[in-house]
Amino acid sequence: MKKIALFLNGEKPENIPELGNYAGVYSVDGAFHYLQALHIKPDLIVGDFDSIEQLPEDIKHIHTPDQSFTDFEKALKIIISQGYKCVDIFAANGLEQDHFLGNMSTALKYKKQLNLTFYDDRQVYYFIKKYTVIEDVKDKMISLFPFPKAKNITSRGLKYPLNKSKTNMKKNKIGTRNIAIEEKVTIKFSKGNLLLFIARN
C-alpha cells in the first residue's frame, strides 16, 4: 500500500528513512526549514505559511489559512482527499509538548480513516487496534498508554504481562516501560484507546 511521509514542526529528526519508497513527501510549513537544511525537497507544503518568508516556486503548495484546524489536521484532510490511507509521520514531538498532545488528539480523531504511524529518533508509536500483533521486538522497551483509558487489556510476550487490566490516565494506571521477552507480542483490549510505543534501538 502506498504511503505518504509527513513532516511536522517538532524536533528535527536525525534518523530519516529512504524517502524514495514513499508515494509522496509532504511538509507542514514550519517543517520546511529543517527539511531544507537536510537537503530534502518535499513534494507538497501545507499550511498558512506564516513561517516561510518566500515560498519556493518549484514546490507545490496548498495554502490553508483556516485557524480552526492545526496544520497537521489540514495535511491529513488533504491526504484523505487524495485517496491515501497510510501516513508515516515525523517530528510530531519535542520542542513544545502541548503540540505533541494536540497531535495525538488529532491522530485519535482520524485513526479510523487513516493508518498513522509516528516516528522519532527513539520510538515508533501509534494507536493500536483491539487485537494487535507486533513482531521482531524481543528485548525492546514497550509502553502502552491509555488515551485516556482502556479496558480488559491482555498481553502475551511482555515481561510484565497484562491480564484483563484497566489503564486510566486520570487514576495514573498506565502500562509504560515494559520489555518484550519474545519476538512476537500480542495485545488485546475490549474498550477505549491505546497508544503503543516501541523503542527503536
State which CATH number among 3.30.360.10, 3.40.50.10240, 3.20.20.10, 3.40.190.80 fits the domain covering 3-121: 3.40.50.10240
Q: Which residue has the cell 507542514?
A: 28
pLDDT in tens, 144-166: 999 989 999 999 999 999 999 88
CA-to-CA distance for 3 and 192, rounded, in angstroms? 27
CB contact set of 71 (below 8 Å; sequence gap of 6+): 8, 9, 28, 29, 30, 46, 47, 48, 64
Give pLDDT, residue 171: 66
List the one residue out of 15, 20, 42 whose CA is nearest residue 29.
42
Mean pLDDT of 11-26: 92
The alpha carbon of 122 is separated from its chain's Cα centroid by a whole number of angstroms, namely: 13
Q: Where are the domains of the chain?
A: 3-121, 128-199
The predicted model scores a pTM of 0.92
The topology (CATH level 3) of 128-199 is Jelly Rolls (2.60.120)
Residue 50 predicted with pLDDT over 90: no
pLDDT in tens, 166-176: 888 766 566 78
* DSSP three-state, residue 132: strand
Contact 62, 90 (CB under 8 A): no
CA-to-CA distance for 187 and 190, rounded, in angstroms? 11
pLDDT, greater one: 104 or 176: 104
List the one residue out of 189, 195, 176, 73 whose CA is nearest residue 127.
195
